[in-house]
């Protein structure tokens, strides 16, 4: 996939991971306005602390992002921070950019100080490999336990000019509301101020990364970054009322990446699309959706293709959402399984068929209000256990 105008990328091997590429470089040679959302985990990895501070110092300007897989450089204290700084400083010197316009990002094992010498040694290769068609190489270099690389694109038109949004992400495990262990970098040739980008990014995240859950765990390194080179031309987007087409494209790319993440949940074979409707408040609707999305009993039933709807409602029942049992209904695709608190006769074979598809939509109507929530989750299978019981070794 071609990058938007103004961006180059590459992916190379630094040797942190046992094999394969593990170092990606994204460059906006003429600079880009940028905004980011970082993890809400109270343990912040060194690269998150550094990138967040640099973004503030530069006033939302970015020229390069250095991403490594294989080591999260989290819970590593001052040595970890110094290693992150050395990577940033070397990349800035090599590329001739101001330090605070170079962001670093890491993913991998926690508690190990980044072996920054390996990255610094590989940076010249990464620089030489930069190209407008380098996204694929970069998309491979940021993966950890992901089964496949994740890229998405969308285009839009503003005042007669065509623009593009292209995103690359890694996810797999530890995916959860508020962006647990995910890295996503979105590039566009739109012209937009950092403040505009921040608002647009928040809006896009609510409908994408913040609505997915693989295992409820969140990481110390999650980062969602958007960079706008402005090379499509036109007036810079500044007011929230402007650029609806751009924001729609940004949300579309984020949703596509989020879908890929949950579909690629460790060992996952299908996606549960949970809609809670008729809740009293948005908080209660989200709590109910969250309880279903993270229930191991629901997720294992999904893995088995067993439409054991009692587990879905039991999860809703413990979520804290208020409702009256007599008003609750549950739909599985076109089938109504429970109506006003009572099981409805249905053909088990039909329910099994729907529950065994790649995408399984369920709607729980609490019947007591108008608030809604929507969330994607995936099944919990042997693959998840195998991957995670022995991740480090």
Pick the closer one to a second copy by CB: 235 or 318: 318
Pick the closer one to a second copy by CB: 206 or 385: 385
Provide the minimum distance between the beta carbon of 389 and a second copy in the complex, in angstroms, as a whole number.
Answer: 3
Answer yes or no: 76 catalytic: no
Pick the closer one to a second copy by CB: 166 or 351: 351
Pick the closer one to a second copy by CB: 193 or 308: 308
Provide the minimum distance between the beta carbon of 237 and a second copy in the complex, in angstroms, as a whole number.
Answer: 33
In 3D space, the residue among 14, 33, 10 whose CA is nearest the CA of residue 22 turns out to be 14
Provide the minimum distance between the beta carbon of 324 and a second copy in the complex, in angstroms, as a whole number.
Answer: 9
Residues that bind a second copy (CB under 8 A): 40-44, 72, 74-77, 109-112, 173-174, 180, 215-220, 294-297, 300-301, 303-304, 306, 308-311, 313-318, 321-323, 325-326, 338, 341-343, 380-382, 384-386, 388-393
User: From residue 296, how far is each of 39, 85, 210, 213 by CA, in Å?
Assistant: 24, 40, 19, 12
Pick the closer one to a second copy by CB: 23 or 364: 364
What tokens appear for 120 in the block? Answer: 């610094």
What's the per-residue H, E or C state across 257-295?
A: HHHHHHHCCCCCCCEEEEEEEEECCHHHHHHHHHHHHHC
Is residue 227 within 8 A of residue 30, CB to CB? The reply is no
SS3 107: strand
Provide the minimum distance between the beta carbon of 338 and a second copy in the complex, in angstroms, as a whole number.
Answer: 7
Provide the minimum distance between the beta carbon of 215 and a second copy in the complex, in angstroms, as a whole number.
Answer: 4
Provide the minimum distance between the beta carbon of 175 and a second copy in the complex, in angstroms, as a whole number.
Answer: 11
Helices (H), the chain: 46-57, 77-95, 116-128, 135-141, 194-206, 244-263, 282-294, 296-303, 309-317, 348-355, 382-389
SS3 232: coil
SS3 206: helix
Per annotation, catalytic residue among 76, 144, 181, 220:
181
Provide the minimum distance between the beta carbon of 137 and a second copy in the complex, in angstroms, as a whole number.
Answer: 28
SS3 132: coil
Residues facing 158 on adjacent strands? 161
Pick the closer one to a second copy by CB: 135 or 380: 380
Separation of first and last alpha carbons in the chain: 34
DSSP letter, residue 326 = G
What tokens appear for 100 in the block? Answer: 């605070």
Which residues, 6+ apart, have CB-to-CB distance to 307 below 8 Å? 301, 332, 337, 348, 351, 352, 354, 355
Is residue 283 within 8 A of residue 236, CB to CB? The reply is no
Q: In angstroms, rounded to a whole number, what is the distance separating the alpha carbons of residues 339 and 160?
A: 50
Q: In angstroms, rounded to a whole number, what is the distance separating the alpha carbons of residues 118 and 39?
A: 26
Pick the closer one to a second copy by CB: 42 or 159: 42
Active-site residues: which are they? 181
């Amino acid at each position: 996939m071609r990058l938007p105008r103004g961006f180059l990328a590459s992916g190379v091997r630094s040797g942190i991971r046992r094999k394969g590429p593990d170092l990606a470089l994204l460059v906006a040679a003429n600079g880009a306005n940028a905004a980011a959302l970082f993890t809400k985990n109270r343990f912040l990895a060194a690269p998150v602390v550094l990138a967040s501070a640099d973004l503030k110092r530069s006033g939302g300007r970015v020229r390069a992002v250095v991403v490594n897989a294989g080591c999260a450089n989290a819970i590593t204290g001052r040595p970890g921070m110094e290693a992150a700084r050395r990577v940033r400083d070397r990349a800035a010197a090599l590329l001739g950019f101001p330090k605070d316009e170079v962001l670093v990002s890491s993913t991998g094992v926690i508690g190990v100080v980044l072996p920054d010498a390996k990255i610094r040694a590989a940076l010249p290769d990464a620089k030489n490999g930069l190209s407008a068609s380098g996204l694929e190489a970069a998309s491979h270099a940021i993966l950890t336990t992901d089964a496949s690389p994740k890229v998405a694109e969308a285009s839009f038109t503003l005042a007669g000019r065509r623009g593009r949004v292209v995103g690359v992400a890694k996810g797999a495990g530890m995916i959860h509301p508020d962006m647990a262990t995910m890295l996503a970098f979105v590039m566009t040739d739109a012209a937009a101020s950092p403040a505009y980008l921040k608002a647009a990014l928040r809006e896009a995240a609510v409908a994408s990364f913040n609505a997915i859950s693989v295992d409820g765990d969140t990481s110390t390194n999650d980062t969602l970054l958007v960079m706008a080179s402005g090379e499509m031309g036109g007036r810079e987007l500044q007011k929230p009322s402007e650029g609806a087409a751009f924001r729609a494209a940004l949300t579309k790319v984020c949703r596509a990446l989020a879908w890929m993440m949950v579909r690629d949940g460790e060992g996952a074979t299908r996606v549960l699309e949970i809609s809670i409707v008729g809740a009293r408040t948005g908080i209660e609707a989200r709590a109910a959706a969250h309880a279903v999305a993270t229930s191991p009993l629901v997720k294992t039933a999904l893995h088995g293709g067993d439409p054991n709807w009692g587990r879905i409602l039991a999860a809703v029942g413990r979520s804290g959402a208020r409702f009256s049992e007599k008003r609750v209904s549950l739909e599985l695709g076109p089938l109504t399984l429970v109506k006003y608190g009572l099981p409805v006769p249905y053909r088990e074979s039909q329910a099994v068929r729907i529950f065994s598809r790649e995408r399984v939509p369920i709607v729980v109507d609490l019947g007591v209000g108008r608030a809604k929530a929507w969330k994607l989750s995936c099944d919990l299978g042997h693959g998840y256990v195998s991957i995670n019981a022995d991740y480090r070794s």
